[in-house]
Amino acid sequence: MKTKMLTCLTLLLACGFGLFVFADSHEKEEDMNKLVFSKEKYKTMAVKSGGKISGVVKFDGEVPEMKKLEITKDKAVCGVTDKFDEALVVGEGNVLKNTIVYLMDISQGKDFDKEAKPELDQKNCRFNPHVQIIPVGTALTVLNNDKATHNVHIFGTSKNNTSVNKQQTKNRKKMRLTGAKGAEGPVEVKCDIHGWMKAWVAYVPHPYFAVTNEKGEFTLEDVPPGEYKLGYWHEACGTNNKEPVTVTVAAGGEVKQDFTLKLKEAK
Amino acid sequence: MRSKNVVYLILILGLLSVLNLTYAQDAPEVSEKGKEVYEESCAHCHGTEGRGDGSAAENLLPKPRDFTRGLYKIRSTESGQLPTDQDLFDIITEGMPGSSMPGWETSLSANDRWEVVAYIKTFYDGFKESETPPRQISLEGKIPYSEESVEIGKGLYTQFACFECHGQVGRGDGTSAPTLQDEWGFQSWPANLAQGWNFRGGNDIDDIYKRFIGGIAGSAMPMFEDPAFGLTIEQSIRYNELDNKVEMTEAEEEEYNQLDEKMGNAFEILDLMAEGSANEEQKQSYATAMKAFYEKSWHLANYVKSLSSEKRPEPAIGKNVLRSQYTESDLPQMMDAAWNTLDSSYFPLVGQIIIEPRQFNPTIDSVNAKSFYNDTEVAFLFTWDDRTNNTEVEENEDTGKTFEDAIAIQFPVKIPKGPTAEKPYFLWGGRKAVYLWQWKASAVDKITELTAKGINNAEEQEVQGNIEAKGEYTDGQYRLWVKRTLKTDDKKDLQLEPGVFVPIAFSAWDGANGDVGTKRVISSWYSFVLEPVPSSRRFIYPPLVALLSFGLLVGLREFVRQRNT
Ligand code: HEC
Ligand code: HEC
């Protein structure tokens, strides 16, 4: 009898869950391209004898030739350098640049580097860097080093309406942009005037984030000892939200964790 | 045992339905009436879940709004704010000209429109979460419309770099136009400022001003920050003047640097304001600079207003029918000033949606025409706006396949006798043939005579003669001059005679919008007449012709509308 009851209950729960999942399936698909954060609000604390997580991100698959971007206007300013589509930058040894690697479930740890002032440069009609992280609520300083008018269009996400789209004429060398209220995770940045100019900024609630360099390397430092889920995000390769890697950091220890990414499946 | 199983099953089902109920109650308050109206009238475009993905959405551009993102283009509220209920109500009432969003003033009661406003708000949680009502844009300090203000606005149009997208004279033909996309990644053409009747949010000066100050959320059009922030209007103009000089004198250099520094300081303060760390004095100079910015925006709005007629021009029927003017001398060439003495007749165009492949999202609004004739010849000047000059078929990874721009001017081969006589089918004829002049952007001085008996059944005439053409593309506009003898020896040609009303119709192709073959924009039959010389006025203007073509136009419009919805 008891077992019957149990079976029924499980069934019931499963059905209920199924319903829930069904209703939410749209959301879930979008979630696959987002960053995952702990539900708890992040608390800062002094981290003593923290550990370190480092590794190399590589690309698995045939490396397509980088597409050269067509410069359709302002050639005198924009045309002086060749520009390439930076959605997938693979270096020697198949190392992958511009991957965000981070701790998904941390809710306590060090504070942000308060001195850091995130900057996005526009020179010869290219955004630099292509991917960067910005503490939630921190302003982004956008530089215009071109004798040309740009517009900085920071897209909204489905969770917040306020995309930001501001013009920066050639007179305005420096402009500070606070991200959209409640912005979270990676959002696209575009200059509509020069349609090929694209970059990403990720608004993040804690400092345990790294972006891989030309060698595909990342390092997360001062990690309080414990077990964490390690996630990644890449513009062209997506995320590992479905199967994050678990790492255990010992006091003062160092953990190595490499990743190998494949292109997102075309929709 | 078995009966117990049944009981469990019932229990499960019961519980499930309870679960279902609680789930529904968790969802935002739903007005039953609003939902009903929405599903009946809006869902096929905006989608049952408000994602802008209804069954009709696939063929539409711009796409129906995705209500789940809370991004609204037409607001009376400041940048980054949600629209007010009144904003939503107004846009639903009036519709969005230049897009497929219809106005519902006549087909839904005011009450139903309010209900549906409440319902579409449930698609986006932000409406529930915002504690304070959205901040409205203040219209204080409005600068009344005047020639002087328009002139100042014209200078600011360049300084604010509007031309990057909207083009030098505002026809939406800026160099950035072909690559613009909205936040959903769909092609987004900048507005043609010379056709204010197609503005989504109306073309009152106040409307235009609100679009600058509040932005057009989700579109490529950026928010404006004063590019010469901190400078007065006079200083801005001076700064621009100096900035464009190839060489400056020492005194000018100094003046320039001073202005530059003033601006630099003002921008610094702007950033401090954004961070909330400005002191009293800085706040004061910020307020002064903002006041100048609002003034500049009013001048700019006045300038935009000056570029377009108040309303869509009256179509070329009745008193606006195209009347070719008699002249004793030679007919004017394409660029002659004589053309400026005539008013143009306006021929509205609509997407061709009767025969596959169709055009649901036309980008060419209309053709304008003027005409002169003398004893032996007739000349026409046709103009139409097109944001891009496409002279060949091109395959582009970002903007898709584009085709060649073109136009065809259509007449019957034989003029129907009397106003009630049957005309050939308006889509390039049928049983009765039509006579066409076809012109393509790749060969600007060439015009080809065609005979057609159906949209897919046209032939070049063997005899091409007695006809000349010259075409040109500048600043987002095509200009086509055509001259032909009144009479020809070719039986397949139209023969002209003063005082006789001649049916005329148009097809046009915007290659950048994928127009090719039957995918094009068209007009119904209109008519033109070689206006008889006043002294020998023998002909009575037949009002029936006008009435008839009006009827046809209304019919076509209605047809198009029904197809669209
Ligand atoms: C034929 C398709 C169609 C139907 C039917 C339709 N819409 Fe739309 N609607 C659109 C399109 C297309 C747009 C976007 C136009 C644009 O972005 O320029 C739009 C935009 C809107 C907007 C956004 C306004 C803004 O400021 O951004 C609202 C609100 C709206 N529709 C409400 C409704 C309601 C309510 C109904 C039903 C009563 C409805 N629509 C029916 C096509 C449609
Ligand atoms: C980066 C390109 C870009 C720039 C720069 C730009 N616009 Fe626009 N503008 C657009 C686009 C795209 C639209 C169409 C928006 C839509 O309906 O989706 C538009 C629409 C408009 C409209 C029509 C609004 C309506 O109700 O439909 C006006 C008026 C306008 N722009 C004026 C200006 C003026 C004046 C400037 C300079 C101060 C300017 N724009 C600069 C891209 C631009």
Using an 8 Å Cβ cutoff, are A40 and A205 in contact? Answer: no
Name the average pLDDT for chain B. Answer: 89
pLDDT one-digit tens code per residue, B250-303 = 999 999 999 989 998 998 898 888 778 899 999 999 999 999 999 999 999 999
Any ligand 1 atom below 6 A from CB of B100: yes
CB pair distance less than 8 Å for B8 and A156: no
Q: What is the pLDDT of residue A106?
A: 94
Q: For the domain with range B319-564, which CATH number is right: 3.50.50.60, 3.40.50.150, 1.10.10.60, 2.60.40.1190? A: 2.60.40.1190
Lowest mean pLDDT among B176-185, B218-227, B345-354, B508-517: B218-227
Q: What is the pLDDT of residue A7?
A: 52
Has residue A25 been placed in a domain?
no
Which A residues in the span 117-146 are in contact with B, Cβ-Cβ below 8 Å? 139
Tell me what the mean pLDDT of segment B140-144 comes to.
96
Burial of residue B139 (number of CB atoms within 10 Å: 0-12, 13-18, 19+): middle
Please give the Cα distance from B381 to B368 (Å, whole number): 8
Has residue A116 been placed in a domain?
yes
Any ligand 1 atom below 6 A from CB of B177: no
pLDDT band at B1; cut points 50, 70, 90:
very low
Mutate to test the pocket of ligand 1, among B69, B85, B96, B119 (most ligand atoms within 8 A of CB): B96
pLDDT band at B325; cut points 50, 70, 90:
very high
Q: Select from A23, A72, A166 the Cβ nearest to the Cβ of B225.
A: A166
CB pair distance less than 8 Å for A15 and B8: no
Three-state secondary structure call for residue B406: strand
Has residue A5 been placed in a domain?
no
Q: What is the pLDDT of residue B544?
A: 52
User: Cβ of A15 under 8 Å from any chain B Cβ?
Assistant: yes
Lowest mean pLDDT among B27-41, B196-210, B432-446: B27-41
Q: For the domain with range B32-129, which CATH number is right: 3.60.20.10, 1.10.760.10, 3.60.15.10, 1.20.1070.10? A: 1.10.760.10
Three-state secondary structure call for residue A211: strand
Full residue range of the structural domain in which residue A209 is found: 32-261
Nearest CA in chain A to B185: A155
Has residue A42 been placed in a domain?
yes
CB pair distance less than 8 Å for B180 and A192: yes
pLDDT band at B537; cut points 50, 70, 90:
very low
- Give B8 or B414, the one with higher predicted confidence: B414
Give chain A's length: 267
Q: What is the pLDDT of residue A37?
A: 85
Has residue A163 been placed in a domain?
yes
Ligand nearest to the CA of B293: 2
Please give the Cα distance from B200 to B481 (Å, whole number): 33
Has residue A10 been placed in a domain?
no
Does B535 score more than 80 pLDDT?
A: no
In chain A, the number of structural domains is 1
- What tokens were used for B357? 């492949």
With the CA atoms of A235, A238, A240 and A241 taken in that order, what torsion angle do they form, in degrees rounded to the nearest 10?
100
Does B545 score more than 70 pLDDT?
A: no
Q: What is the pLDDT of residue B509?
A: 98
- Give B193 or B31, the one with higher predicted confidence: B193
Residue recorded with tokens 């109306």: B202
pLDDT band at B317; cut points 50, 70, 90:
very high
DSSP characters over A136-199: TTPEEEEEE-SSS-EEEEE--BTTB---EEEEE-TT--EEEEEPPTT--EEEEEE-STTTT-EE
Q: What is the pLDDT of residue A111?
A: 94
Please give the Cα distance from B151 to B160 (Å, whole number): 14
Residue recorded with tokens 């047809």: B559
Has residue A190 been placed in a domain?
yes
CB pair distance less than 8 Å for B176 and A193: yes
Most confident of A238-247, B417-426, B468-477: B468-477
CATH code, A187? 2.60.40.420
Angstrom distances, CA of residue B541 to CA of B319, B342, B489: 10, 20, 29
Which A residues in the span 72-111 are in contact with B, Cβ-Cβ below 8 Å? 72-74
Nearest CA in chain B to A172: B227
- Give B168 or B397, the one with higher predicted confidence: B168
Has residue A6 been placed in a domain?
no
Q: Tens of pLDDT along chain A (267 residues)?
A: 455 555 544 444 444 443 433 434 444 555 667 888 888 889 999 998 999 999 999 999 999 888 999 898 999 999 999 999 999 999 999 999 999 999 999 999 999 988 888 999 999 999 999 999 999 888 899 999 998 999 999 887 656 556 788 888 888 888 888 766 666 789 899 999 999 999 999 999 999 999 999 999 999 999 999 999 999 999 999 999 989 999 999 999 999 999 999 998 765
- Give A19 or B313, the one with higher predicted confidence: B313
Full-model pTM: 0.85
Size of interface A-B (CB pairs under 8 A): 122
pLDDT band at B17; cut points 50, 70, 90:
very low
Does B380 score more than 50 pLDDT?
A: yes
User: Cβ of A151 under 8 Å from any chain B Cβ?
Assistant: yes
Tell me what the mean pLDDT of segment B476-498 comes to.
96
